[in-house]
Amino acid sequence: MKILSAAQMREVDRRTTERGIPGIVLMENAGSRVVEFLAERCAPVSSERIVVLCGKGNNGGDGMVVARQLFTRFQPRSLDVVLLAAPEELQGDAAANYRMLEACGCPVAREIPAGARNATLVVDALLGTGVHGPATGRMLEGIREINNGFPLAKVVAVDIPSGMASDTPEPVGEQARADYTVTFTAPKVAQALPPNCDRVGELAVRAIGSPPGLYENDDSCFLSLTEPGMFRALLAPRPRAGHKGTFGHVLVVAGSRGKTGAAALTGLGALRAGAGLVTVASARSAIAEIAAHAPELMTEPLAETPHGSIAFHAGWEKVAAGKTVIAMGPGLGRDPGTAELATSAMAAFERPMVIDADALVAQEPAPTGRIRVLTPHPGEMARLTGKTTAQIQSDRVGAARAFATGHGVTLVLKGERTVIAFADGRVWVNPTGTPALGTGGSGDVLTGLIAGLLAQFPKQADQAVAAAVYLHGLAGEVGARALGEKCLIATDILQYLPEAVRRAAALAGGVEACGDLSHPL
């Protein structure tokens, strides 16, 4: 789904009203979506002790719709509606909803009552996406109350946590922390990117009447949040007549003496992703250890350097003949010939390649029509671009997008909210993941997953990359819940991948997961 800036969202709202849907209807729809969310997550709503905090702008107007509907429909155990502004400051649709709230008999306070401190649910409707600069005055007081004044309460933010600048991943001042955020039409930039996304809580995106065509088909809206519906077809059951030759043959060029695990994890990742065949080509002295990790992996010994790395003139080209995808880099080592090996492979191999770790070297733009997927972490990205890691992290989307468009590649910039940038300028942000994935070998598994899905779906390369990144992060989440964040290791990602596939398939619309991913390791 598209990620919109504040300006893009305003334009969508403007064009929606031009088409005949008044702003007050959009406001009513927004409040209704929040109430529906509360009814889903807080049933029965009537048992909750609720505080609705409203500001003077349209976000406050949304909050007053929420308050009116709660008061008239659910009659919760207690409901305190607090307007942290003078009623005469309200304008337009917000003022109209204040009058409707009064007309239905719901009391509106100007200060938070002492008895409201034991609330179990706080609705944050102080500030919306139009905020500029840090919150001040009564809005700042309200934000501090949300964060510190309700020890028993879950916080539901209306559209965006108050004080959060819609377009800025970094905080611009104090902001509310939400357990849930119900946003409208599309996610906002700050909700999708770290560190601000950590204050959003669980994000629910709800439609309020704006036609999707106003933004889904707008090329200027280049940011999207990855969701399983984007790769639904890749999760469908396999054709009954399929066989191992149908699902691609991945060649993993990886590993060296002392780094055999990286090559094995990449190969296992490709197998678990569903590739029909996987061959691992590595230095001759490393092959026995790699083969010992799994009998399903085929191996190919290559000539090696005195240090146990693959030699530049190892003859990998013969091994690559007939392969569907090459995954290159994990555990190769930093032998002087490694960069030359990677460069020559990227120039010679016409089919898709996934390049990671030691194979990530500065390069000329990829030949037109060839699929090249690079998977750097921030430090490797800094090495590729000549920037510092801090510079990369300060603008992850910009750095990834500039490299992808400049080099004609797909760039997977790993880290919190992994960024997938495409050669045509589109950028997809992945919402899954956990600090538990910060463990040795996790990136090797991801490289294998990407290669395995590309081998099966070379004509849906963008979706294959997105699916691999999404499922890798989701498997990490599932595993971390079972084992704890500190205890997860790379092979656990493979173990919990089947459950991740099942969950993604359900989110995508109930499609059955493909059979080869339905059994644990």
CATH code at position 209:
3.40.50.10260
- The pLDDT, as a whole number, for residue 369 is 85
Please, what is the average pLDDT of the chain?
Answer: 94
Q: Please give the average per-residue pLDDT across 369-392, as a whole number.
A: 96
**Helix pair 396-407, 378-385: axis angle to 10 deg:** 50
The verdict on 207 and 302 lying in the same domain is no
Closest CA relative to residue 267, chosen from 331, 174, 347: 331
Tokens of 282: 């590595």
Task: Report the domain count for the chain.
Answer: 2
- Is 333:456 a contact under the CB 8 Å cutoff? no
By the 8 A CB rule, do 519 and 502 touch?
A: no
In this structure, the answer to whether residues 206 and 238 fall within a common structural domain is no
Helices 461-483 and 442-456: crossing angle in degrees, nearest 10, is 140
> Which residue in 33, 67, 28 sits closest to 50, CA to CA?
67
**CA–CA–CA angle 92, 93, 96 (5° rounding):** 95
The answer to whether the peptide bond before residue 195 is cis (omega within 30 degrees of 0) is yes
Going by C-alpha positions, the residue among 453, 493, 448 that lies closest to residue 473 is 493
pLDDT at 131 over 90: no
pLDDT at 107: 96
Are 176 and 238 members of one domain?
no
What whole-number distance in Å separates Cα of residue 290 and Cα of residue 260? 6
- Regarding whether 196 and 241 lie in a shared domain, the answer is no
Whole-number Å distance between alpha carbons of 515 and 348: 35
Indicate if 207 and 323 belong to the same structural domain.
Answer: no
Amino acid at 220: S
Residue 98 inside a domain? The answer is yes
Q: Select from 157, 189, 217 the last residue of a domain.
A: 217
Task: Name the more confident of 420 and 132.
Answer: 420
In this predicted structure, the answer to whether residue 511 has a pLDDT above a threshold of 50 is no
The residue out of 194, 217, 240 marking a domain boundary is: 217
70 vs 510: which has the higher pLDDT: 70
pLDDT exceeds cutoff 80 at 520: no
pLDDT at 496: 98
Q: Give residue-wise pLDDT tens across range 87-97.
A: 999 999 999 99
* Residue 147 binned pLDDT confidence (cut-offs 50, 70, 90): very high
Q: Could you report the per-residue pLDDT of 237-271, keeping only the tens digit for each?
A: 999 999 999 999 999 999 999 999 999 999 999 99
Per-residue confidence at 341, pLDDT binned at 50, 70, 90? confident
For residues 154 and 298, give the distance between their C-alpha atoms in angstroms, rounded to a whole number: 53
Q: Has residue 475 got a pLDDT over 80?
A: yes
Q: Which residues contact 207 (CB under 8 A, 6 or more apart)?
A: 33, 184, 185
Q: Do 62 and 27 form a contact (C-beta atoms < 8 A)?
A: yes
Segment 313-339 mean pLDDT: 90
CA distance 363 to 373: 13
Residue 103 lies in a domain: yes
Per-residue model confidence (pLDDT) at position 134: 95
Amino acid at 333: G
Encode 422-435: b = buried (16+ Cβ within 10 Å), e = exposed: bbeebbbbbbbbbe
Burial tier of 356 (Cβ tally within 10 Å: 0-12, 13-18, 19+): buried
**Residue 132: pLDDT band by 50, 70, 90 thresholds?**
confident
The distance from CA 494 to its chain's CA centroid, rounded to whole angstroms, is 20
Residue 485 has pLDDT above 50, yes or no: yes
Judged against a pLDDT cut of 90, whether residue 286 lies above it is answered with yes
Question: What is residue 411's three-state secondary structure?
Answer: strand
Q: Is the pLDDT of residue 161 over 50?
A: yes
Q: What percentage of residues in the chain have a pLDDT greater than 70?
A: 98
Q: What's the whole-number mean pLDDT along residues 193-211?
A: 95
Mean pLDDT of the 387-411 span: 97
Asked if residue 399 has pLDDT above 50, the reply is: yes
Nearest to 458 by CA among 336, 352, 338: 352
510 compared with 130, residue with greater pLDDT: 130
Residue 349 and residue 391 in one domain: yes
pTM as predicted: 0.92
What pLDDT sits at residue 477?
A: 98
Q: What confidence tens digit (pLDDT) does each residue in 77-130 have? A: 899 999 999 999 999 999 999 999 999 999 999 999 999 999 999 999 999 998
Containing structural domain, residue 385 = 230-517
pLDDT in tens, 20-43: 999 999 999 999 999 999 999 988
- What CATH number has the domain bearing residue 303? 3.40.1190.20
* DSSP codes, 364-380: PPPPTT--EEE---HHH
> Can you give the pLDDT at residue 264?
98
**394, two tokens:** 């300060």
437 vs 416: CA distance, rounded Å: 10
- The model's confidence at residue 182, banded by pLDDT at 50, 70 and 90, is very high
CB 34 within 8 A of CB 205: no
Does one domain contain both 191 and 234? no
Which of 217, 249, 274 delimits the end of a domain? 217
Are residue 257 and residue 166 in the same domain, yes or no?
Answer: no
436 belongs to a structural domain: yes
Going by pLDDT thresholds of 50, 70 and 90, the confidence category of residue 365 is confident
The encoded tokens of residue 325 equal 């995808």
Q: 3-class DSSP state for residue 473?
A: helix
Q: Is the pLDDT of residue 510 over 90?
A: no
Identify which has the larger pLDDT, 79 or 76.
Answer: 79
